[in-house]
Structure 1
Amino acid sequence: MAVHAQRHSYRDDASVPRFDDGRPIVVFDGVCVLCSGSMHFIQQHDTRDAFRFVLAQSALGQALFRHYGLPAENFDTVLVLDDGVLHTKLDAFAAVMRRLPGAWRVLSAARFIPSLIADLMYDLVAKNRYRWFGKREACLMPTAALRARFLPDGWKTAPAS
């Protein structure tokens, strides 16, 4: 089931570090090959430099997952924050596609798939993503150019608690 929350609700949560939310933000699992590959796809096709990225394993990523009541150790969804609105699962994919230029926008039609079917499809891939696509031993270490697309400290993993 997709998570729904009030717009900008994280701003009132003292446990969420303050961050610049003036552009859409993608919070993704940095050890998942599919997830980090998707982030690279967005970066490559985002010719307007609209998106910013955050590792789910970073302090900010962890805080956002907890804020929305999602497990902060098993990232079974990507989070997309666009104008303070949370998008998860296939809705997150559609939100990203809506912002990419050109023909990619047509894929935003995924938002019209009934949520029961969309969630089942997304959950199937999420549950099997490590087995099907692989898992890195450590989080993605972005190049300097890619790191510029991350929110400050959004690419550094949080210390183990």
Structure 2
Amino acid sequence: MYQNLILFDGVCNFCNAAVQMVIEIDRQKIFKFAAIQSELGQQLYRQHGLDPTDIQTLMLVDGDRVLTKSDAVLEVLSRLDGGWQLLAGFRAMPEPLRDWAYSEFARQRFRLFGRRETCMVPTPELQERFLNN
């Protein structure tokens, strides 16, 4: 069972930058990470009915709870130190509207921010926070 595991698109520049931001802010080191392209990421993506060859959402796995799209983002923000919890107030917006905006951004992320040829390789200091098997 995984707790506080963020699955992200490992070749998306925006997604990698967001993971780096979470790492910086998450001083308590509650979050772990895995690229959806990793064996673990593909397994969990499939297990929850998503196609790992068509990555359109990040996923937060927290025990029995699995969140995607805007719910996942807002849950991560709500657990970060600082003023980030205030952004979780967007939960007041209807979920279909939030998820529509999330999906539209996800469709444009490569055009706006580009993509990498391969997934990021964590530094030795960060290796313990990345699950890749």
Distance (whole Å) between structure 2 residues aligned to residue 112 and residue 64 of structure 1:
28
Moved over 4 A (4+): none
* Amino acid corresponding to residue 111 of structure 1 in structure 2: R
User: 1:83 aligns to what?
Assistant: 63
> Is the CA contact 1:31–1:135 (under 8 Å) kept in the aligned structure 2?
yes
> Is the CA contact 2:122–2:130 (under 8 Å) kept in the aligned structure 1?
no
- Percent of pairs with identical residues: 36
User: 2:96 aligns to what?
Assistant: 116
Q: Does 1:39 align with 2:15?
A: no
Structure 1 segments unaligned to the other structure (5+ residues): 1-19, 155-161
Distance (whole Å) between structure 2 residues aligned to residue 141 and residue 84 of structure 1:
28
**Offset at 1:78?**
0.2
Q: Report which of the two structures shows the higher radius of gyration computed on alpha carbons.
A: 1
Tell me, what secondary structure is at the counterpart of 1:102? coil
Taking structure 2 as the reference length, the TM-score comes to: 0.94
Select the structure that is richer in helix.
2
Count of residue pairs brought into register by the alignment = 133
Q: CA RMSD in A?
A: 1.2
Q: Does 1:60 align with 2:23?
A: no
Structure 2 segments unaligned to the other structure (5+ residues): none
User: 1:147 aligns to what?
Assistant: 127
* Amino acid corresponding to residue 59 of structure 2 in structure 1: L
> Is the CA contact 1:45–1:100 (under 8 Å) kept in the aligned structure 2?
yes
